[in-house]
């Protein structure tokens, strides 16, 4: 990207803004003015063979009436799905990213799987590693230097991520979606992601699926040209962004994480107890205060894509 573009200028503006100012300047879909920037998007019903427990297993509302979808009017193909996850489902995914995924074959910015594998389920209790951890990849491992995927550099994608991505993709019209590469990004309050476009995948017709967890973020979405100014969106925990159509090859970035949400162990326990009383699928056995504490200071992003 050129040294000075409209995209970079807006990125710098949001990066240096206070959290309050950033939210006020961005499109906030939870407000009346923000929702006016979207047009309705009709989600596709689930196939008959997909039972409610399949959604509950990955933290999603089995009652599809909770799901709300809209397309950003100025950016065709940019679909935002809100309220698809239960609160406990959001906790489940953060816990899974901190306890389960580090024990599986993967790559990370810290090195091979052996680095995180040594601490395994105790990652949340290791402040030094938590502070350094930025990303983990599953499936095809992207070579950040050559910008290509290699068939020889590949691990299994966790079953939960496969199930989650297929449900989401199916609801936006991609019934044959095949998740083949996953990047999990771990953000603290100061972490950013600079502007880029994802074109390493050989199949650019299949959408990118992105799930936000934990703290609030400002997300920039532009066009295929960095000279075009991007729109800024407020993303909150549980929000799903689907980049399809023209937005699939658009420049995007994350200039700001805003730690403005306070989670509590008690609130998660109350939802857990209600779930047990309703005799529904038990998503988590125990609420870990370390995971709740991590959520209070971090954001996690699940990014899933089809390569071929």
198 is in an annotated binding site: yes
b/e per residue, 75-104, with b = 16+ CB within 10 A? Answer: bebbbbbbebbbbbbbbbbbbbbbbebbeb
Q: Residue 203: how many CB atoms within 10 A of its CB?
A: 12
> 284 to each of 53, 126, 198, 248, 291, how far by Cα in Å?
14, 22, 34, 34, 12
Q: Which residue has the tokens 């240096």?
A: 16
271-275 contacts, C-beta under 8 A, 24 or more apart: 271/86, 271/87, 271/88, 272/88, 275/88
- Cα 141 from chain centroid (whole Å): 18
252 is in an annotated binding site: yes
Task: Indicate the annotated binding residues for Fe cation.
Answer: 196, 198, 252
Task: Indicate the annotated binding residues.
Answer: 196, 198, 252
């Amino acid at each position: 990207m050129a040294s000075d573009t409209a995209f970079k200028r807006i990125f710098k503006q949001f990066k240096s803004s206070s959290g309050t100012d950033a939210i006020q300047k961005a499109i906030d879909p939870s407000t009346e003015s923000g929702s006016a920037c979207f047009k309705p998007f009709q989600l596709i019903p689930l196939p008959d063979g997909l039972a409610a427990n399949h959604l509950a297993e990955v933290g999603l509302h089995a009652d599809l009436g909770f799901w709300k979808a809209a397309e950003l009017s100025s950016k065709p193909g940019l679909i935002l799905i809100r309220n698809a996850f239960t609160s406990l489902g959001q906790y489940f995914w953060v816990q899974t990213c901190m306890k389960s995924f580090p024990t599986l074959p993967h790559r990370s910015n810290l090195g091979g799987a052996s680095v995180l594998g040594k601490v395994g389920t105790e990652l949340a209790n290791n402040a030094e590693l938590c502070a350094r951890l930025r990303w983990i990849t599953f499936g095809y491992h992207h070579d950040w230097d050559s910008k290509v995927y290699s068939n020889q550099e590949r691990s299994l994608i966790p079953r939960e991520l496969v199930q989650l991505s297929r449900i989401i993709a199916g609801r936006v019209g991609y019934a044959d979606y095949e998740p083949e590469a996953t990047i999990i990004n771990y953000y603290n309050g100061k972490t950013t992601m600079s502007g880029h476009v994802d074109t390493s995948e050989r199949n650019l017709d299949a959408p990118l699926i992105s799930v936000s967890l934990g703290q609030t973020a400002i997300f920039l979405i532009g066009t295929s040209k960095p000279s075009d100014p991007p729109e800024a969106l407020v993303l909150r925990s549980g929000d799903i962004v689907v980049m399809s159509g023209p937005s699939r090859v658009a420049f995007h970035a994350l200039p700001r994480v805003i730690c403005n949400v306070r989670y509590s162990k008690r609130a998660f326990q109350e939802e857990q107890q209600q779930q047990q009383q309703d005799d529904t699928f038990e998503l988590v056995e125990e609420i870990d205060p370390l995971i709740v504490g991590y959520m209070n200071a971090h954001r996690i992003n699940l990014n899933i894509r089809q390569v071929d």
